[in-house]
Amino acid sequence: MATTSRGRAQDRKLVAGSQNHEVKYEAEKTGASKGKVKKAVETVGNSRDRVEAKLKK
């Protein structure tokens, strides 16, 4: 796992549904709305693979 400049762990396999920049990135990447991304995170958890799979259905 990578670390940030502040020494915190960074996991790119997860989507932080409360972080607007991550929700916006996933929305642009998948073509879904930000609301749908947030709903997908609530439904399937914060795994990026599961969120993207849910949005592609």
pLDDT (tens digit, 9 = 90+) per residue, 20-55? Answer: 999 999 999 999 999 999 999 999 999 999 999 999
Query: How many independent structural domains does the chain possess?
Result: 1
**Residue 33 within any structural domain of the chain:** yes
Q: Indicate if the pLDDT at residue 3 is higher than 80.
A: no
**Residue 6 within any structural domain of the chain:** no
**Residue 10 within any structural domain of the chain:** no
**Residue 38 within any structural domain of the chain:** yes
**Residue 19 within any structural domain of the chain:** yes
**Residue 36 within any structural domain of the chain:** yes
Domain that holds residue 23: 15-56
Residue 37 exposed, middle or buried by CB count within 10 Å (0-12, 13-18, 19+): buried
**Residue 37 within any structural domain of the chain:** yes
